[in-house]
Amino acid sequence: MKLAIYQVDAFTDRLFSGNAAAVVPLAAWLDDSQLLLIAQENNLSETAYLLELGTGHYFIRWFSPITEIDFCGHATLASAFVLFQLQPELTELRFSTKAVGDLTVTKQGDWLQMNFPQRLALPVAEVPAALFEALGVAPLKVLRSAQAWFAIYDNAAQVAALTPDMQLLKQLGPWDMVATAPGLGFKEGQYDFVSRYFWPANGGDEDPVTGSIHAGLVPYWAEQLGKTELLAYQASQRGGVLRCELQKDRVLVSGQAVLYLQGEIYLKS
């Protein structure tokens, strides 16, 4: 059996930056164990699998090298980029998912705009001591969404300088960890907020650019900054830029993408 595979750098307009994802269109689902093995072989933060349901409509699933993921933004962006390249007549795609409902992606020039459900980060009654110990630098406050702990800092330099203890962060699973701060003073102040994302319990130490977590970051920073359109930067080593907008209970996250490779996977029938 041969399967097409594409590797795309997402949330960037140039190769070797942003976040790399593999995209594998399928004619029928493989066993979950095989989907995980392919993701492990790819050894990227995510591999997205697509099953066509109708014209412009796909079921999407995302796998890290460790497990299936409930929600992934950059691999959705990468998938849309590939599908728009293969079907240039389309201007909108719809992705059905297991955990977060239907997601749409529309062309906006050379940017692709994803429409996500809002996933709020809220206060919690008790914060694990391992969180503070892992981060080393105490945040101003800690919140939690369905996806991750949110460590809120007062300046971007603190976020950029973090060297968290990954073994301690792993104890916080199933939740991941995002550290975030206003963008004032960072890279000439061109960004409204910055973030970094750590997920040793579910994928890897640091994710280069995490589209999904902006479904929680955007509502938070929209309230803090008093604006609904925001430009975000994920301050990983590779880095990535996200155009974001809050629309009632939806969050629009836009990014660019570039194709790195395409090829074939060979599986025994």
Run of H or E including 35? helix 32-42
Half-sphere exposure in the Cβ direction for 161 (13 Å, CA) = 11
CB 94 within 8 A of CB 56: yes
46, 133, 223, 245: the active-site residue? 46
Backbone phi and psi for residue 94, each to the nearest 5 degrees, phi listed first: -125, 130
CB 105 within 8 A of CB 92: yes
Amino acid (one-letter) located at 172: L
Active site residue 41: no
Instruction: Looking at the chain, list the stretches that DSSP marks H as alpha helix, in order from N- to C-terminal side.
Output: 32-42, 73-86, 129-135, 156-161, 166-170, 214-225
Provide the annotated active-site residues.
46
